């Protein structure tokens, strides 16, 4: 179902433009339409699927690693680090002419990736490794709050950056070309193979850390590898599409609501579900106010948040027979 949905949405994304929905035969006979499809629509559509797949994979790994259904890919501070990296890069580009050449080479995408990576490394340093899950979780929350405050401070000092930062904060796939698309797809393949190989430790951790150790699983090194997979998938997606909320959190919940499986298939299905969710949200963002576009992060936040609220209400136990 998820593979078929991805292919159908991919075909729809190729046909959907600012002028409305075009048929494939009309595109095939129009040279300009073919160029638009090949250079703009196709890489953007495939890139949206790849970014969603990375976030869905990272969300499944995070929830299994922390044994917390509310864990999301940004839990280690990567989102706040990426935002601060982009904000600092924009501030230096506007204020330091000597630093502009290498900053232009790095670009906001590179700054976001470096910021997200630095935030994860800072979280690991504060948590003194990955041996204690609770300490790692708390360190990620602290790093996210501190770097978020630093980002707000930079924007307060240079308020002219707020409009440029708004696009990154709300998330967008509009600028994804073939290069970023191929990079995200390659990273997804690496992270998917790694997460599949490391799925036994996630199954063991779901039974408790002591149980995982009693099963003979090398928990400490495999946990480090899982953190690296989580950080790489999240940083790559955030660097190219900005902060897109709820995809990594909602995708594993949607999969669990449909099927029961071990973490090997859960990670794979959550990744496919994340790709479908973000691609569908991107198509909706293109078409709702065409030819204008909505930020895709706004739609994922509204739809994902509404779904999780509905899910919480459905799972709230009702105490029958209790009278006031």
- 295: its two tokens: 């930020």
User: Where residue 298 falls among pLDDT bands split at 50, 70, 90?
Assistant: confident
Which range is least confidently modeled, 58-72, 99-113, 142-156, 283-297?
99-113
Q: Is 321 within the bounds of a domain?
A: no
Domain CATH for 46:
1.10.3470.10
Residue 17: helix, strand or coil by DSSP?
strand
What mean pLDDT comes out for the span 82-108?
72
Q: Is the pLDDT of residue 224 over 70?
A: yes
pLDDT per position as a tens digit, 237-263 = 999 999 998 999 999 989 998 998 899
- Residue 321: what pLDDT? 43
Q: Is residue 318 part of a domain?
A: no
pLDDT score at 320: 43
Q: How confident is the model at residue 318 (pLDDT cuts 50, 70, 90)?
A: very low
Which two tokens mark 166? 């708004």
Domain assignment present for residue 8? The answer is: no
Token pair belonging to 2 = 């998820």
Q: Is residue 6 part of a domain?
A: no
Question: Residue 56: inside a domain, yes or no?
Answer: yes
Between CA 44 and CA 46 the distance in angstroms is 6
pTM over 0.85: yes
Phi/psi zone of residue 171: left (φ > 0), alpha (ψ -120 to 50 degrees), beta?
Answer: left
Q: If you search the block for the tokens 């790093």, which residue do you land on? A: 143
Q: How far apart (Å, rounded) are the C-alpha atoms in residues 230 and 76?
A: 9
pLDDT single digits (tens) 159-181:
888 888 888 888 888 889 899 99
Average pLDDT of the chain is 85
Higher confidence at residue 23 or residue 299?
A: 299
Domain hosting 300: range is: 26-311
Residue 16 within any structural domain of the chain: no
The C-alpha atoms of residue 230 and residue 300 are separated, in whole angstroms, by: 20
Q: Is 158 exposed, middle or buried (0-12, 13-18, 19+ CB in 10 A)?
A: middle
Cis bond leading into 291, ω under 30°?
yes
| Closest by CA position to 2, among listed 279, 297, 320, 315 | 279
**Among 193-207, 248-262, 304-318, whose mean pLDDT is lowest?**
304-318
Structure tokens, 6: 């991805």
Which of left, alpha, beta for 295 (phi over 0: left; psi -120 to 50: alpha)?
beta
Residue 97 pLDDT: 46
Are the C-beta atoms of 91 and 158 separated by less than 8 Å? yes
Q: What average pLDDT does the segment 182-201 reach?
A: 94
| Residue with the larger pLDDT of the pair 125 and 108 | 125
Q: Percent of the chain beyond pLDDT 90?
A: 47
Higher local confidence (pLDDT), 22 or 173: 173
Strand runs labelled E in the chain: 16-17, 20-21
Taking residues 128-133, report their average pLDDT.
Answer: 80
* Strand, helix or coil for residue 146: helix
User: How many folded domains does the chain comprise?
Assistant: 1
CA atoms within 13 A on the CB side of 6: 18
Quickly state the pLDDT bin for 100 (edges 50, 70, 90).
low
Q: Which of the four pLDDT bands, split at 50, 70 and 90, describes residue 197? A: very high
CA distance 155 to 231: 26
């Amino acid at each position: 179902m998820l593979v078929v949905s991805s292919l159908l949405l991919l075909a729809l994304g190729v046909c959907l433009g600012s002028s409305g929905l075009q048929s494939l035969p009309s595109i095939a006979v129009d040279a300009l339409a073919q160029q638009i499809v090949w250079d703009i629509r196709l890489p953007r559509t495939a890139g949206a699927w790849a970014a969603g797949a990375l976030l869905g994979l990272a969300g499944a790994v995070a929830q299994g690693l922390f044994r917390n259904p509310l864990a999301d890919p940004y839990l280690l501070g990567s989102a706040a680090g990426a935002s601060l990296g982009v904000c600092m890069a924009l501030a230096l580009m506007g204020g330091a002419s000597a630093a502009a050449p290498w900053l232009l080479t790095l670009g906001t995408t590179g700054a976001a990736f470096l910021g997200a990576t630095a935030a994860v490394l800072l979280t690991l340093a504060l948590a003194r490794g990955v041996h204690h899950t609770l300490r790692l979780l708390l360190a990620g929350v602290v790093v996210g709050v501190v770097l978020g405050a630093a980002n707000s401070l930079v924007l307060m000092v240079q308020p002219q950056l707020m409009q440029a930062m708004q696009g990154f904060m709300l998330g967008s796939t509009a600028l994804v070309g073939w290069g970023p698309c191929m990079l995200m797809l390659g990273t997804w393949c690496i992270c998917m193979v790694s997460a599949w190989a490391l799925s036994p430790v996630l199954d063991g951790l779901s039974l408790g850390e002591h149980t995982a150790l009693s099963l003979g699983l090398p928990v400490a090194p495999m946990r480090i590898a899982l953190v690296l997979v989580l950080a790489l998938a999240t940083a790559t997606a955030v660097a190219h599409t900005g902060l897109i909320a709820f995809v990594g959190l909602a995708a594993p919940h949607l999969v669990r609501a449909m099927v029961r499986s071990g973490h090997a298939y859960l990670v794979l299905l959550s990744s496919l579900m994340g790709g479908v969710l973000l691609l569908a949200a991107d198509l909706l963002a293109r078409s709702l106010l065409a030819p204008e576009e909505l930020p895709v992060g706004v739609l994922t936040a509204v739809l994902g948040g509404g779904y999780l609220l509905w899910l919480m209400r459905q799972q709230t136990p009702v105490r029958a027979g209790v009278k006031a």
